[in-house]
Amino acid sequence: MNRFRKLLFPFAIVYGWVVSIRNFLYDKQWLSFTSVSYKKPIICVGNLSVGGTGKTPMIEWLVAHLKDNHELAVLSRGYGRTTSGYLQVESNLDASQTGDEPLQFKQKFPSLRVAVCEDRKTGINNLLPQADIILLDDAFQHRKVTPGFSILLTAFDDLFFEDYFLPAGNLRESRKGASRADIIIVTKCPDKVSYARLQEITFLLNLLPHQKVYFSKIGYADTIVGVSESLPLAYLKDKPFTLVTGIANPDPLVQFLNQQGFSFTHKKYADHHRFSAPEISELKKDDLIITTEKDYMRLQAPLGKYALYYLPIKTIILNKQEMFLKQTIDKAIALMEG
């Protein structure tokens, strides 16, 4: 915690009280603080902190694993969209209408049902006739719905058990909230991490008897993707470019590109940044722009066929754990369906 955020610690205590009381009321199902559960499998992916834990690639990993054997749907809030209420996401919509992650899901998996709704109960009720499994994106704090299975993500370099409440830290609810998770995935692990460190993290997570822990890292593609073509990543060798990011934590991407020996200028914006007309005009002065897939959803419309490409990423499960993670999820689905 830096010095400025230490000064905000009293506000974090107040925030923590409010959140803890809310969760207590939901745990007890008192007054209007009641949750609804469903007969079909509802799988929640979320975190305890704000942004940057890799929820989007984790949802995509789940979709890739489940889509061939299930009628699958993804439900997001659609953060930052200009619309409201329930909306079925189509590939030809704009990110301003849907939010960037939902549009990314739809464009990557065209046959996937994707919807956005700020009220998860309404969204689920609309999707249930069409799907036998619903993935809830970033819904760990949405207590009005009790999912059948919850996946909690925490980033390797920002572990929730070492963090504090907002605004002194990045936690949006107590560390005790981890008890609602069925599995915990430590994301964004470095390429080289010792087994001893992984064991230490496992110990510090203080898992409950029903919980399991897995570790993952971000894998980068060997191609960059544009509107009408894909190019090998090596194309960027000796070609200076501008890296544009509007995500919570671009540091791993910056580090990866530096490791490749590329020459680039980084234009960093806030998470889910909405690019203004002057900013788009300024970006058009750059000869070549590389961005994240999430940012590409917001930039492809205003930049059109401009020299804009994104570098795809994916979740890679470490230490040969992928088979066990798939088995855990499949068993959970079978139990929910039973």
Helix (H, G, I), strand (E, B) or coil at 256: helix
Helix (H, G, I), strand (E, B) or coil at 226: coil
Q: Are 62 and 45 in contact (CB under 8 A)?
A: yes
Q: Are 260 and 235 in contact (CB under 8 A)?
A: no
Average the pLDDT over 70-82 and give the result: 95
Sheet holding 289-291, edge to edge: 230-232, 223-225, 308-310, 289-291, 241-245, 264-268
pLDDT band for 304, please (50, 70, 90 cuts): confident
Confidence at residue 327, expressed as pLDDT on a 0 to 100 scale: 96
Helix (H, G, I), strand (E, B) or coil at 328: helix
* Of residues 217, 76, 203, the one with CA closest to residue 155: 217
Per-residue tokens: 129? 């006739």
Confidence at residue 278, expressed as pLDDT on a 0 to 100 scale: 95
pLDDT band for 56, please (50, 70, 90 cuts): very high
Q: Are 47 and 108 in contact (CB under 8 A)?
A: no
Q: Are 137 and 45 in contact (CB under 8 A)?
A: yes
| 74 bridge partner residues | 114, 135
Confidence at residue 63, expressed as pLDDT on a 0 to 100 scale: 98
* Of residues 59, 40, 37, the one with CA closest to residue 144: 37
To the nearest whole number, what is the mean pLDDT of the chain? Answer: 94
Q: How far is C-alpha 287 from the chain's CA centre?
A: 30
Domain 222-311: state its class. Answer: alpha beta
- pLDDT above 70 (res 2): no
pLDDT tens digits, 95-123:
999 999 999 999 999 999 999 999 999 99
| Domains 3-70+132-218+317-337 and 222-311 are alike in CATH topology | yes
pLDDT tens digits, 235-290:
999 899 999 999 988 999 999 999 999 999 999 999 989 999 999 999 999 999 99
% of the chain beyond a pLDDT of 90: 88
Confidence at residue 1, expressed as pLDDT on a 0 to 100 scale: 57
Domain 3-70+132-218+317-337 architecture:
3-Layer(aba) Sandwich (3.40)
pLDDT band for 31, please (50, 70, 90 cuts): confident
Confidence at residue 83, expressed as pLDDT on a 0 to 100 scale: 95
Confidence at residue 226, expressed as pLDDT on a 0 to 100 scale: 92
Average the pLDDT over 53-79 and give the result: 96
pLDDT band for 29, please (50, 70, 90 cuts): very high
Query: What's the one-letter identity of residue 238?
Result: D
Distance CA 7, CA 1 (A): 10
Confidence at residue 194, expressed as pLDDT on a 0 to 100 scale: 95
Query: What's the one-letter identity of residue 260?
Result: Q
**Domain range annotation of the chain:** 3-70+132-218+317-337, 222-311
> How deeply is 103 buried, as exposed, middle or buried, from its count of CB atoms within 10 A (0-12, 13-18, 19+)?
buried
Average the pLDDT over 24-30 and give the result: 94
